[in-house]
Structure 1
């Protein structure tokens, strides 16, 4: 499967991607929000932008018809922050989840303190739902930190 966005391409992770993904996830700007991952087989897709691997994105699905929705997680190399590639990756995957997988609602859950991620998701159409107190452990300090639950309804997805 390959998903083409306006500026990025999402494609399956291969064994050859592991080295560059380890480098990206160890960058201080990424490591502050993501725990170290050794097995990238769980990742849905590599984010290709500007002709190179710039990060990874994944999704999960709740398939119970009464609660059906999907969730997204993403990280990009700090060298590519602020260029709109993350926004395009999230928008592209969200669009695919709506069109191809039939989801009407998508969630994402950045740390409350991750303002850059929150702004990125808002550009796609995600809206804050509420703060989940002491939601996750900080990967660097081990302290509990709050998460912001955001969701996006299919009709709110910006193009």
Structure 2
């Protein structure tokens, strides 16, 4: 296996064609959709294909494995100039991530904290990020608590930032600074 990162039983690898069925399974589960994409936006194979495989965006799309079992999804990307300006950044090298654990029986086991810490370290040490950001919705306390445990700080409220279940929701811009620079 070609893993981008490994931390004990946790590993992250690039998305493969065979992962489509798992993504469709996870992204049609109302428990997962409540936090990622919205319960009004279930995915089928066609939607998974167009969003995760046919798009030519700059996101690096990956699967999360635990003890060799695929359990979730993470993507990372370097912010473009427009997004950096929107968030108030200048010339810093800023990366963002989005993630979810799709196998709900792996929730509340500390895996998200290990994942976020591992990916943040990868982005800083391997890709030389100055900052890593995330933008969880303000009501998603479980995600916010996880990110804060990993050293992220709330830096800016983003009003009506994300369409979720039919309404624009406020999000927190959360940031982790490369400790070698600050």
TM category (shorter chain) comes to 0.7 to 0.9
1:51 aligns with 2:68: yes
Equivalences for residues 5-154 of structure 1 within 5 A: 5-35=7-37, 36=43, 38-39=48-49, 40-41=52-53, 44-62=61-79, 66-77=91-102, 78-138=104-164, 141-154=165-178
Provide the TM-score with structure 1 as the length reference: 0.88
8 Å contact 2:123–2:129 — kept in the other structure? yes
Aligned residues: CA RMSD: 1.9
After TM superposition, give the deviation of residue 70 of structure 1 in Å: 0.3
Q: CA deviation at 1:43?
A: 5.1
Which piece of structure 1 moves more, 21-30 or 111-120?
Answer: 21-30
- The change in CA–CA distance for 1:51 and 1:44 in structure 2 (over 3 A counts) is same
Paired positions, count: 154
Secondary structure of residue in 2 paired with 1:121: helix
Decide whether the 8 Å contact of 2:159 with 2:170 is kept in 1: yes
Assess if the C-alpha contact under 8 Å between 1:43 and 1:56 holds in 2: no
Structure having the higher Rg: 2
Does structure 1 retain, via aligned residues, the 8 Å contact 2:157–2:172?
yes
Distance 1:7 1:92 in 2: 12
Structure 1 window deviating more from structure 2 (19-28 vs 120-129): it is 19-28
